[in-house]
C-alpha cells in the first residue's frame, strides 16, 4: 500500500507530466507553423513521452492500491521569439522536472517505500537523458547560429 503523502505527490507529478506534454506539443505546433518540421517532430515525440510518463505513474499508483486523478491543466505558452528560445525553455523545464522527481524520491525514501524509490529512480535516470538532449539542442543552435537553423532542424528530424 502506498502512503497518502506519496500518492498525492505522484498525482501532483502526473499533472506536471500532462502539462509538460501540452507544453511540448505547443512548442511543436509553434515551430511547425514557422516551417521547422524537424524541431516540430522532435518536440511532438517529447510530448508523447511526457504523456506516457503520466500514464506510467497512474498505473503504478493503481498497482500499489492507490488512486490516480486527472487534475486541471493550466494553459501553456504558445509563442516564443526563436527556436533557440524554445529549446532554452525546454532545457530549463527539464531541469525543473528533475528537481520535482528528486523530491518524489525523497518522499518515497522518507516513507521507507523501497518499491516506490525503485520505480521513481527510473524517472531520475531518464531525466538525465532528457536534460542532456535539451542541453545539446541549445548548444547546437548556439553554434549553428541563424544560418545553420536548416541543418539543425534536419538533424532533429532524425532523432528518436
Domain ranges of the chain: 4-157
pLDDT tens per residue across span 103-114: 999 999 999 999
| pLDDT recorded at residue 17 | 97
Q: CB within 8 A of 63, min separation 6: which ones?
A: none
pLDDT tens per residue across span 38-60: 999 999 999 999 999 999 999 99
The CA-atom distances, in angstroms, between 42 and each of 4, 64, 120, 121 are: 36, 33, 25, 25
* Domain 4-157, CATH: 1.20.1260.10
Say whether pLDDT at 4 is over 80: yes
Secondary structure element (H or E) that encloses residue 53, with its range: helix 37-63
| pLDDT recorded at residue 146 | 85
pLDDT tens per residue across span 53-79: 999 999 999 999 999 999 988 999 999
17-46 b/e (C-beta count within 10 Å ≥ 16 → b): bbbbbbbbbbbbebbbebebebbbbbbbeb
| pLDDT recorded at residue 62 | 98
Amino acid at each position: 500500500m502506498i502512503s497518502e503523502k506519496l500518492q498525492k505527490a505522484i498525482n501532483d507529478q502526473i499533472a506536471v507530466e500532462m502539462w509538460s506534454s501540452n507544453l511540448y506539443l505547443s512548442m511543436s505546433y509553434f515551430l511547425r507553423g514557422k516551417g521547422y518540421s524537424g524541431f516540430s517532430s522532435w518536440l511532438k515525440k517529447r510530448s508523447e513521452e511526457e504523456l506516457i510518463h503520466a500514464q506510467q505513474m497512474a498505473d503504478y499508483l493503481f498497482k500499489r492500491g492507490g488512486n490516480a486523478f486527472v487534475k486541471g491543466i493550466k494553459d501553456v505558452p504558445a509563442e516564443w521569439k526563436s527556436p533557440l528560445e524554445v529549446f532554452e525553455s525546454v532545457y530549463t523545464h527539464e531541469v525543473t522536472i528533475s528537481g520535482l522527481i528528486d523530491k518524489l524520491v525523497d518522499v518515497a525514501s522518507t516513507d521507507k517505500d523501497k518499491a516506490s524509490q525503485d520505480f521513481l529512480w527510473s524517472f531520475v535516470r531518464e531525466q538525465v537523458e532528457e536534460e542532456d538532449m535539451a542541453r545539446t539542442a541549445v548548444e547546437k543552435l548556439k553554434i549553428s547560429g541563424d544560418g545553420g537553423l536548416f541543418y539543425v532542424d534536419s538533424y532533429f528530424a532524425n532523432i528518436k
